[in-house]
Amino acid sequence: MTRPLLEVADIVRAQGDRFIHSNFRWFHWAHRKALRAIARCRTAVLGGHRDQCPRCGYRITSYNSCRDRHCPKCQSGARDKWIMARQKELYKVLCNRPSEEENRHRWQSTTH
């Protein structure tokens, strides 16, 4: 998976403190907590683990996720899962919809 050129975490790391400082009147500790989680997500700060391919021996380091419900990285999987579930539901509805003839028959039986 390729990393996008700019992530929300990059913006938070670059301007988060300045944003908090200029909005301290309404800024709540929960907002700060969410921004801190987003900035730390999938970085060495949260730790990680190494995976190695059993065939070629290629190693890759994966950093842990913050698992914060406001984090776009952590919620992208949940969002994709939700979209897939809605697509399945829509597919079922489309496959099980009555034909025009069935609709006409239903309409005629209710009106006559």
Contact positions vs Zn ion (CB under 5 A): 41, 65-66, 71, 73-74
To the nearest whole angstrom, how small is the minimum distance from the Cβ of residue 94 to Zn ion? 35
Q: For residue 14, report the phi and psi dihedrals to the nearest 5 degrees.
A: -75, -40
To the nearest whole angstrom, how small is the minimum distance from the Cβ of residue 45 to Zn ion? 12
62 strand-pairing partners: 49
Q: Which is nearer to Zn ion, 20 or 70 (CB)?
A: 70
Q: What is the DSSP letter of 63?
A: E
Q: Residue 41 burial (CB < 10 Å; 0-12/13-18/19+)? A: buried
To the nearest whole angstrom, how small is the minimum distance from the Cβ of residue 82 to Zn ion? 17
Q: Which is nearer to Zn ion, 27 or 36 (CB)?
A: 36
To the nearest whole angstrom, how small is the minimum distance from the Cβ of residue 34 to Zn ion? 10
Q: Decide: 64 and 73 in contact? Cβ < 8 Å.
A: no
Q: Which is nearer to Zn ion, 20 or 34 (CB)?
A: 34
